[in-house]
């Protein structure tokens, strides 16, 4: 059913104005951003199709802008509106992360990472660089791998840390499978990187494995190695 065929009180924009955005479904919120559908597809159906293809709102939030702009029947104007809205959400999440005591609250880091990267279909690996007070400097995405793993070299990680003049890093990577349980390879890599960090005087404070619905802190699991 097209929006024009709905009773006025049931149309997404009108419901938003009357009841607030929290009353809308994910598809209805996206439909408001899109504004109109195509000649063949109503805007609600179009929004539902986007969400289905992306893996839900979380998947859409983690999608690349080029994916958005390639959607059938969507020109650069609509694609740019959605991309801008998603980027606002990412920046708000980043601002929240920047205000937190990062080392003491891995769930805050994991929440940001899940919003930004957790719904991807391939594994991503990165590092969060921190200053001498463990405050956020920058979030780096350093490697995009296949569907099961990402190969990472210490030089990639510590080159970024040195350029940021960082005193410490928190490693992170995603598990597209949806299971955040670290593998033995994850634990081995973490210990290897922690050893390299000690030589360079850049502490590896944690390694967080994140999915869209959960995370594991290797520091909390006691898998970080000797400090």
The pLDDT tens digits for 173-223 are 998 888 899 988 889 889 989 999 999 999 999 999 998 778 999 998 888
Same domain, 52 and 130: no
The whole model's pTM is what?
0.67
Last residue of a domain, one of 65, 92, 119: 92
Which among 166, 161, 142, 226 has a CA at the least distance from the CA of 192?
226
Q: What is the CATH number of the domain that holds 171?
A: 3.40.140.10
Range 94-117 average pLDDT: 76
The tokens of 66 are what?
A: 């080029």
The pLDDT tens digits for 2-13 are 666 666 667 888
Same domain, 33 and 75: yes
Tokens 């992170």: give the residue: 172
The pLDDT of residue 201 is: 94
Residue 52 confidence (pLDDT) above 80: yes
Q: What is the CATH number of the domain that holds 14?
A: 1.10.150
Q: 78, exposed or middle or buried, with CB in 10 Å at 0-12, 13-18, 19+?
A: buried
The pLDDT of residue 50 is: 86
Partners of 144 in the beta sheet? Answer: 124
Last residue of a domain, one of 72, 92, 112: 92
The pLDDT tens digits for 138-165 are 999 888 876 555 567 788 889 999 999 9
Q: How many domains does the chain have?
A: 2
Tell me the C-alpha to C-alpha distance, in Å, between residue 89 and each of 37, 81, 86, 93: 23, 13, 5, 6
Same domain, 54 and 132: no
Whether residue 224 lies inside any domain: the answer is: no
Same domain, 127 and 76: no
* Domain extent for 111: 103-217
Over 113-168, what HEC string results?
HHHHCCCCCCCEEEEEEECCCCCEEEEEEEEECCCCCCCCCHHHHHHHHHHCCCCE
Last residue of a domain, one of 42, 66, 92: 92
The pLDDT of residue 72 is: 74
């Amino acid at each position: 059913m097209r929006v024009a065929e709905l009773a006025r009180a049931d149309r997404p924009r009108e419901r938003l104005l009357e009841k607030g955005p929290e009353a809308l479904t994910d598809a209805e919120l996206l439909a408001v951003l899109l504004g109109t559908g195509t000649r063949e597809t109503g805007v609600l159906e179009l929004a539902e199709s986007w969400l289905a293809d992306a893996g839900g709102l979380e998947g859409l939030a983690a999608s690349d802008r080029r994916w958005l702009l390639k959607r059938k029947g969507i020109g650069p104007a609509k694609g740019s509106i959605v991309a801008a809205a998603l980027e606002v959400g990412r920046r708000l999440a980043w601002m929240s992360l920047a205000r937190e005591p990062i080392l003491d609250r891995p769930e805050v880091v994991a929440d940001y990472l899940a919003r930004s990267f957790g719904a991807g279909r391939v594994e991503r690996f990165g590092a969060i660089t921190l200053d001498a007070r463990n405050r956020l400097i920058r979030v780096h995405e350093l490697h995009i791998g296949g569907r099961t793993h990402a190969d990472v070299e210490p030089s990639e990680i510590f080159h970024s840390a040195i350029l940021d003049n960082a005193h410490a890093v928190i490693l992170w990577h995603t598990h597209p499978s949806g299971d955040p349980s670290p593998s033995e390879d994850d634990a081995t890599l973490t210990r290897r990187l922690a050893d390299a960090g000690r030589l360079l005087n850049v502490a590896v404070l944690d390694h967080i494995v994140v999915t869209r619905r959960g995370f594991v802190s290797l520091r909390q699991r006691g898998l970080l190695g000797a400090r």
